[in-house]
Structure 1
């Protein structure tokens, strides 16, 4: 689109969007087929975009990226694991509580961990995916951003692309960038888990942090999309580009979803959370719209109203393929061929 095509793509940024992130596979299919990202150096993403950025950072052929993505069982992501503290309750008592209040495990999790569903399945999955890229003889998991930066530890000594994950630090009421520069000793799987932890829908991530006076603080993190769902301007600083075009790094290519403002009836916790996320996203839309160059460097995917929290998807089923092809078509339209 326009002048943006004259620049080499060195950075890619992926917006958050739950299961809509499946469409990123179609975008990448197009980009890899056409050899558009041979100069790629850095990847950033929020939520579903963080998952894509993480997998893509391994610097693998597209076929392997696609295979890894397809191994994620979407239906297991909203997980209702049993809470350890509730295992001592007799089953007949628990059944009565479930009948009275709904799922007692989920209610307990909502009250104590601030989310209805567990993210244990996803966390275990992303840990395995990451571990598969490392030579376990050289270092055992967990793997940090520093480890991602060290090709000696990787299988085949393959260098990774630089990775930037967006999260929300609720304790400090601010957006956070997790990366080699900012959080070198942080486990990457934890950073991705934070980034996809939709408020109220998924449990929050609690981490211990040492305060200046030596005491321990409990810090609560959640979905990066709450404050920065599309970190397109992350690489607009002189650190990443000494010759910006009107203050913008045109070597950054972003991928996002078409925003559609319409009425949605709120009749349960799920639709409440979904509408809450859309509201936060629409507020951020103003930042994106404020600079026409943001549109110049963004592939926009039309997902035609599919809910980002509709996890009733199976790899390569009809909905999966629809999102995949919408991503491919959007990339093709952007590049005009």
Structure 2
């Protein structure tokens, strides 16, 4: 009897080990080389959990390029300069986000709104980014071309940041390919410059920030990338980003790209049922009205395409507003868990 129990226990352990091996093999079967993060304000705290789950599954180690808009650009930049997922989650949890709403006294805020086109300065955020970049690279003024050199070895990665050029009325991708001399910290500051909330940024053709531009500076005004391209999932849809591509350079759907997208639960269900457009929104008070209004605007800025379902990790935003504010510990924990769950559900669909 004891012998049979031992045999049974051995078989159970063998089956369990085999299942674990199969799961790991499936997780790493498809290689992703590009990671894209949608803008989402304070909701971006969920990305720490999503990245941690990718790391646990052995997927993150193959990522060579990271891209993001606004809050997505912040976390993409931290990953690009070598922070681990655990460190990124800790940084986001420990950073008093409300401190970024700097120098917002009525007199100063009103003057700045008309002079700099934003109520808050955004200087505290910029200094925080400089410090975080310096902690990993030794240089708070790290440029995209310098990061590109570092990205030739792990754990550094090439970074692509989305901003909007209000002067020319189009979105702009900041990277070593377009603005090699630009400071990474400045690009991220541009990408999170919520119009009228944070001061807009003047940039010259070399990517240098100009505080009080003169006509000869040839500077243009930039704001938050989420205004025109909040989810840049197609940023790497070109043959030059596909390692084994042969033939002429061309636009091509890149299956090596993986994107993080924050959505309300109803919208996630809507898209996974292959229903097009925006899911219905129940409106019963001013708060839900504002949420519905924000949803219809942002969804039309970066509409979902059925083809992208196969490369998009949908993360339940748990009904959270994107407005920068202090989060309670339970809120942060819930969002981080939601990020993990989004990755798990995505990988389950891929099997």
- Which TM bucket (shorter chain)? 0.7 to 0.9
User: Are residues 162 and 276 of structure 1, via their aligned partners in 2, closer, same or farther at CA, if it must alter by over 3 Å?
Assistant: farther
Residue among 48, 56, 59 paired with 1:36 = 59
Q: 2:228 — aligned with what? A: 227
In the alignment, structure 1 residue 67 sits paired with structure 2 residue 70: no
Q: Secondary structure at the match of 1:239?
A: helix
User: Are residues 108 and 195 of structure 1, via their aligned partners in 2, closer, same or farther at CA, if it must alter by over 3 Å?
Assistant: same
CA shift, 1:193, in A, is: 0.4
CA shift, 1:71, in A, is: 3.7
Alignment of 1:49-60 (within 5 A): 49-60=72-83
Residue among 156, 162, 178 paired with 1:166 = 162
Q: 2:19 — aligned with what? A: none
| Whole-angstrom CA distance in 1 between matches of 2:257 and 2:292 | 29
Residue among 275, 279, 300 paired with 2:314 = 300
Q: Secondary structure at the match of 2:218?
A: strand
| Whole-angstrom CA distance in 2 between matches of 1:301 and 1:49 | 13
Higher-Rg member (1/2): 2
CA shift, 1:285, in A, is: 4.1
Q: Secondary structure at the match of 2:202?
A: strand
In the alignment, structure 1 residue 320 sits paired with structure 2 residue 332: yes
Q: 1:238 — aligned with what? A: 239
Q: 1:330 — aligned with what? A: 342
Greater percentage in helix = 2
- Indicate conservation of the 8 Å contact 1:17/1:47, yes or no: yes
- Indicate conservation of the 8 Å contact 1:123/1:193, yes or no: yes
Q: 2:298 — aligned with what? A: 281
CA shift, 1:64, in A, is: 2.5
Q: Which moved more, 1:293-302 or 1:66-75?
A: 66-75
CA shift, 1:310, in A, is: 4.6
Residue among 189, 193, 204 paired with 2:189 = 193
CA shift, 1:43, in A, is: 0.3
Q: Deviations over 1:288-309 (max 9, x none)?
A: 22xx220110001111221000
Misfit runs of 4+, over 6 Å: 264-267
Q: Secondary structure at the match of 1:221?
A: strand
Structure 1 gap segments, 5+ residues each: 83-102
What TM-score does the superposition give when structure 2 sets the normalisation length? Answer: 0.76
Q: 1:142 — aligned with what? A: 141
User: Are residues 13 and 298 of structure 1, via their aligned partners in 2, closer, same or farther at CA, if it must alter by over 3 Å?
Assistant: same
Q: 1:129 — aligned with what? A: 132
CA shift, 1:282, in A, is: 1.6
Q: Secondary structure at the match of 2:171?
A: strand
> RMSD of the alignment, in Å?
2.9
CA shift, 1:265, in A, is: 6.5
| Whole-angstrom CA distance in 2 between matches of 1:254 and 1:125 | 26
Q: 2:34 — aligned with what? A: 11
CA shift, 1:188, in A, is: 0.5
User: Are residues 17 and 160 of structure 1, via their aligned partners in 2, closer, same or farther at CA, if it must alter by over 3 Å?
Assistant: same
- Indicate conservation of the 8 Å contact 1:199/1:222, yes or no: yes
CA shift, 1:318, in A, is: 1.3
| Higher normalized contact order (CA 8 Å, seq sep 6+, divided by chain length) | 1
User: Are residues 199 and 26 of structure 1, via their aligned partners in 2, closer, same or farther at CA, if it must alter by over 3 Å?
Assistant: same
- Indicate conservation of the 8 Å contact 1:51/1:192, yes or no: yes
- Indicate conservation of the 8 Å contact 1:168/1:226, yes or no: yes
